[in-house]
Amino acid sequence: MSRYVSIWFPHLRTDWHALREPHLHQLPFVLRSLQHNRMVVSACNAMAQASGILVGMPLADARAIVTNLQVKDDADDLPIKLLTRLATWCIRFSPTVAVDLPNGLLIDVTGCTHLWGGEEKYVFNLMHKLRQRGYTLHAAMADTIGHAWGLARHGGGIVPAGKHLDHLLHLPPAALRLDPETNIQLHKLGLQCIGQIFHIPRTSLRKRFGTEILLRLDQALGHVIESLTPVIVPEPYQHRLPCLEPVKTPTAIAIALQQLLEELCLRLQKESKGLRTCTFSAHRIDGKVEQLKIGTHQATHHVSHLFKLCEPKLTTIDPAWGIDLFILEATGVEACSPQQEVIWDAQQHHAALAELIDRLTNKAGDVIHRYEPAQHHWPERSIAQTKSLHTQTTLWPAAHLRPVQLLAAPDRIEVTAPIPDYPPMLFRYKGQLHHIVKADGPERIEQEWWITPGLHRDYYRVEDENGKRYWLFRLGHYQEKTAQWFLHGFFA
Amino acid sequence: MNTAHTLLRDALRADIMRLEGFRPQSWANHADLGPLQETFPNGFPKGALHEFFASQPESLAATLGFLSGLLAITHKSGCILWVSANRKVFPPALQTFGLDPGRIIFADLKSERQIPWAIEEALKCTGITAVVGEMKALDFLTSRRFQLAAERTQLSGFFLRTGLVNKEPTACVTRWNVEAMNSITIQDESGVLPGIGFPKWKVELLRMRNGSPNTWELQWSQQQFIDASSQPEFIQQQVIAS
């Protein structure tokens, strides 16, 4: 049996303004917005309402009723912002919290209330904490979303599980989440409570009011299943650690992390799964959420390794006035076989290597590379990064010698090359003259025109009089004066 | 010299080494080092640090060649972590020296300051067999930390000291300098054959703890180091044939 809580903030927007300017509490106060070229009241506080101001009334009329009326401009996106913030804060009461525009929240509390010692205490706690934040609210708990919504706006309270039918029939039709026109119509027809509608045949209702009223009635009765859209979708691998008292010392945060990791890893181990990415979030009492994220190179459920990865980032969590809830979410989970694969030949130290790589990437970023031969002759493109560190690379081509040092961009050199298609006799590199005594080549490497257009390169391996070996190339065909020569690498 | 004397001398040498902090099992890498064997009678040291100086790109290239050959001979399996901030080595070339580029994992850090940290982390890891670090600065304190980490895990550390470096003492067991030399080419009746021979280097062991410095002229051919000091730059074809 599901249980839902609906919270209604009758003066959400004015309460928020009053929080920022406390003197507004003592004064009649409204928000205004422009509708059809006239200023109307779009929200009012309890005091203004008591003196007869209604939402939708022209502002001039409101000023006529109350002389010392305080007026502020309204913002359209304020309710969604406020409600999302409040919903995120309410995560500590239940993982499934949804925003209910324009002025409410819906919480799926199934299986959560016993943690607070019963439904009364749960609702009391929730209302008390929200009131402390400075909002006026009404809350109700019932078996269906529709019923809880209606009850919150018409009396509030808790309907015991299984008793909702009797209770619902006494509520006014406005509790059914119908549009205002239908509400007025029902009122005019003298239908004062849902019980009266309930006894009218369904076909007559559909003919008179359309299908919406039937749907709403079914939802409130629980005949039609309704689902919530939670503000934060709960992860399947999520562990929570609420604190009795807010904590703010680094040791306490570290202990919380350790405890959550142990819980999570134990569960992952049982399901023979491993963690790839996870988020550790700390919910502060002032409503902010501090987060840290880690990623591993290989699925793992090794507590001390994961703790080591998080440890340097723990200092980034600012506890401010205290943290009262820690959540550890495994956002990326992969199957992880307990039997370690062998790395290359006889290597058995796979896990230790993976942990080293995790430590390096966590501190320094994406720095780990391993290469495999690519199907290109063009030197710059002849190697490619491997995706995995475990696979055996394909055989490296051994037909052509390559320099141990390859310059990222070839360096221009001046040469004396009098004979066509022969290596130069001497060249000048960085101001120094080199006489070539031995040479090999040419090795012609064509530009891959389907990737980039350009001229081919004729490579020569040369050795100067001091025994230093270089890799030179000429761009394109031989031309006595205009040929361009480059130095591209150093041989051992 | 009789046997008793030799035994006594060996026992005393072992004592001195123990007093200097060398554990006997750290000399366990029994690979065939060719001409270098004489200087390393107990095998190439394991769990120790080695540094190579290379100021010019040309000498760095020669050093990279010698180092890859040395790694291929002394570390036949397992993977090698290559830590650098401005990496110059081109992986496909390493297989010329018997080192499979797929065995190497490169850690290309963004700044020189992170290198000592990364090397120390790597030396503490049991999942690899050797660490190569390209770095400019290495002081005694840092190298001592590396040495302690390497002793615990029995990993070897090789440091390429590029650029102009101050050669202050470090905790490294050996210190090397490698320069390129003219390769040996074949000469027949018609004259010198075109082309470049096998890579040849002048390898200087500048400093070695518990050993004496030495200099070799080495050539890399047939996947091993060959002593080339006695060979002239141009050799007659019949010499090869025999």
Instruction: Give a yes or no: residue B193 inside a domain.
Output: yes
- CB contact (8 A) between residue A359 and residue B109: no
- CB contact (8 A) between residue B101 and residue A466: no
Structure tokens at A198: 């309930």
Contact yes or no for B157/B143 (Cβ under 8 A) = no
What is the rounded CA–CA span in Å between residue B215 and residue B36? 10
pLDDT in tens, B79-118: 899 999 988 899 999 988 988 888 899 999 988 899 999 9
Question: Chain A 141-200, CB below 8 Å of chain B: which residues?
Answer: none
> Residue A347 has what pLDDT?
43
End-to-end CA distance of chain A: 76
Q: Does residue B241 surpass a pLDDT of 80? A: no
> Residue B120 has what pLDDT?
92
Instruction: Give a yes or no: residue B178 inside a domain.
Output: yes
**Helix, strand, or coil here: A6?**
strand
Using pLDDT thresholds of 50, 70 and 90, give the confidence band for residue B203: very high
Contact yes or no for A402/A376 (Cβ under 8 A) = no
Instruction: Give a yes or no: residue B153 inside a domain.
Output: yes
Structure tokens at B207: 């400093």
Q: Does residue B26 surpass a pLDDT of 60? A: no
Mean residue pLDDT of chain B comes to 85
- Stretch B35-58: mean pLDDT: 86
- CB contact (8 A) between residue A371 and residue B106: yes
**b/e map B2-41, b = 16+ CB within 10 Å:** eeeeeeeeeeeeeeebeeeebeeebbebebebebbeebbe
Using pLDDT thresholds of 50, 70 and 90, give the confidence band for residue B49: very high
Q: CA B213, B216, B218, B224: dihedral to nearest 10 degrees?
A: -50
Which residue among B100, B106, B196 places its CB closest to the CB of A440?
Answer: B196
> Residue B12 has what pLDDT?
87
Q: CA A313, A318, A323, A329: dihedral to nearest 10 degrees?
A: -30
Using pLDDT thresholds of 50, 70 and 90, give the confidence band for residue B22: low
pTM of the model: 0.61
Instruction: Give a yes or no: residue B32 inside a domain.
Output: no
All residues at 6 or more sequence positions from A346 whose CB lies less than 8 Å from its CB, including other chains: B77
Please give the tally of structural domains in chain B: 1
What is the rounded CA–CA span in Å between residue B1 and residue A259? 69
Q: B41 preceded by cis ω (within 30°)? A: no
C-alpha dist (Å) from residue B200 to A118, A239, A463: 84, 62, 11
B88 touches chain A (CB under 8 A): yes
Which residue among A405, A463, A470 places its CB closest to the CB of B90?
Answer: A405
C-alpha dist (Å) from residue B147 to A152, A189, B16, B43, B134: 71, 92, 19, 19, 17
What is the rounded CA–CA span in Å between residue A351 and residue A302? 10
> Residue A338 has what pLDDT?
56
Query: Which residues in A lie closer than 8 A to residue B68 (C-beta atoms)?
Result: 404, 492
User: How many alpha carbons lie under 13 Å from residue A260 in its C-beta half-sphere?
Assistant: 27
Question: Can you name the residues that pair with A32 across neighbouring β-strands?
Answer: A41, A73
User: Which of B83, B105, B109, B124 to mutate against chain A (most A CBs within 10 Å)?
Assistant: B105
Helices (H) and strands (E) in chain A — how many of each?
14, 21
Which residue among A368, A467, A490 places its CB closest to the CB of B182?
Answer: A467
Class of domain A1-234: alpha beta
Q: CA A319, A323, A327, A328: dihedral to nearest 10 degrees?
A: 40
**Strand B49-54, strand B224-227: pairing:** unpaired
* Domain span holding position B127: 44-241
CATH number of the domain that residue B135 is part of: 3.40.50.300
- CB contact (8 A) between residue A463 and residue B183: yes
Tell me how far the alpha carbon of residue A143 is from its chain's centroid.
31
**Helix, strand, or coil here: A114?**
helix
What is the rounded CA–CA span in Å between residue A113 and residue A94? 9
Q: What are phi and psi of A316, to 5 degrees?
A: -75, -15
Using pLDDT thresholds of 50, 70 and 90, give the confidence band for residue B24: low
Which residue among A364, A396, A491 places its CB closest to the CB of B61?
Answer: A491
Instruction: Give a yes or no: residue B18 inside a domain.
Output: no
Residue type, A418: P
Tell me how far the alpha carbon of residue A62 is from its chain's centroid.
44
Q: Which helix (H) or strand (E) holds A355?
A: helix A350-364
Q: Does residue B14 surpass a pLDDT of 90? A: no
Q: CA A92, A94, A154, A162: dihedral to nearest 10 degrees?
A: -150
Instruction: Give a yes or no: residue B6 inside a domain.
Output: no
Query: Which residues in A lie closer than 8 A to residue B108 (C-beta atoms)?
Result: 367, 369
Q: Which helix (H) or strand (E) holds A385?
A: strand A383-385
Please choose, from the candidates B88, B24, B60, B35, the residue with its C-alpha nearest in 3D space to the C-alpha of residue B176.
B60
Query: Which residues in A lie closer than 8 A to residue B91 (C-beta atoms)?
Result: 371, 383
Per-domain boundaries in chain A: 1-234, 238-335, 405-491
End-to-end CA distance of chain B: 38
Which 3-state string (H, E, C) describes chain B? CCHHHHHHHHHHHHHHHHHCCCCHHHHCECCCCHHHHHCCCCCECCCCEEEEEECCHHHHHHHHHHHHHHHHHHCCCCCEEEEECCCCECHHHHHHHCCCHHHEEEEECCCHHHHHHHHHHHHCCCCCCEEEEEECCCCHHHHHHHHHHHHHHCCEEEEEEECCCCCCCCCCCEEEEEEECCCCEEEECCEECCCCCCCEEEEEEEEECCCCCEEEEEEEECCEEEECCCCCCEEEHHHHHC
Which residue shows structure tokens 């309704």? A226
Neighbours of A443 (CB within 10 A): 16
> Residue A195 has what pLDDT?
80
B86 touches chain A (CB under 8 A): no
Mean pLDDT, chain A cut into blocks of 10 residues (492 residues total): 86 84 81 84 83 83 82 82 85 84 84 82 86 85 86 82 77 81 83 81 83 83 80 77 85 90 87 85 86 83 84 84 87 70 47 83 84 88 80 75 90 86 87 89 88 90 91 86 88 90
Structure tokens at A281: 């979030």
Residue type, B197: G
Please choose, from the candidates A92, A93, A95, A75, the residue with its C-alpha nearest in 3D space to the C-alpha of residue A13.
A75
Instruction: Give a yes or no: residue B143 inside a domain.
Output: yes
Q: Does residue B231 surpass a pLDDT of 90? A: no
- CB contact (8 A) between residue A353 and residue B127: yes
Over its C-alpha atoms, chain B yields an Rg (Å, rounded) of 19
Please choose, from the candidates B129, B125, B86, the residue with its C-alpha nearest in 3D space to the C-alpha of residue B109.
B86
> Residue A339 has what pLDDT?
47
Which residue shows structure tokens 């706006």? A153
CATH code for A238-335? 3.30.1490.100
Name the DSSP class of A450.
T
Instruction: Give a yes or no: residue B195 inside a domain.
Output: yes
